[in-house]
Amino acid sequence: MKRLKDVVDEARREGRAVGHFNVATLDMLRGVAQAAAGLNLPVIIGVSEGERAAMGVRQIAALIKSLREETGQEIYLNADHTTSLDSAKAAVDAGFDAVLADGSALALDDNVAYTRQVVAYSKSKNPDILVEGEMGLIGRGSQVLSEVPAEVATAELTTPEAASEFSLATGVDLLAPAVGNLHGVLANRPNPNLDIERVRAISATVNLPLVLHGGSGTSDEDVTAAIKAGCAIVHVSTELRLAWRDALRRSLADNPDEAAPYKLLKPALQAVEKVTAAKLKLFNNIDK
């Protein structure tokens, strides 16, 4: 199987992006994996600290390993939004392929120091692991929002100069900048437009694959433009959660006498698979 670095670099050269999808249950994982397998595309499974607590750090790593061995699928695992060194170490030691050292809520100097620690530990254990750094506030959590949080609306976007300094000081492999993106989706209107020229300028300055967080709720046009400007990985979480929740809600309502979880959860799995497939086609320039 290819190294994740090679998969990401290839996507970047070809003007595509690798899809990154967060999961919190086995049926969500299966839905994402089935969508990627059906399109014969690599995929990254993301698990945040909360999702890792729900599924188990070693357990999700074992599930990914078993999928690879059983199917030969290019499926990779990322420790998403990791906010402590101990949490990063646990993911690295479990065999994750990537880790996001998320110090975006810290002062810049503290973010640099924390990210450097994660890079040093990760590379000492596995030189092929990818470490991502994050700059700028784009919100917390994957949820439906009534409005853009005030701290996000007033936060400074990442500049090419700051991105360059950060990447050189930390030694990260990937960079997630704040370019107008937002975690979560707005309830009554599309998410804010991305600053595509800023993406392009940061990409040219740091010469690293960029990661676009907040892929849910962002217009297809903006996502496509961001990929062409240098975003080689796109994160999706909230849209999967909403698809899963809504399908499960309908399943429970339509089958009030059913007690078998795997039967009730089947529509939720299928809903996740459908959203994932549509996003993967978008990220990889595949006609719908």
| Catalytic residue numbers, as ranges | 80
Q: How many angstroms separate the CA atoms of 131 and 5, rounded?
A: 10
Q: How many angstroms separate the CA atoms of 110 and 176, rounded?
A: 17
DSSP 193: P
The closest alpha carbon to 114, from 76, 173, 166, belongs to 166
Q: How many angstroms separate the CA atoms of 288 and 277, rounded?
A: 10
Q: How many angstroms separate the CA atoms of 25 and 23, rounded?
A: 6
Tokens in use for 274?
Answer: 């459908």
Helix, strand, or coil (residue 186): strand
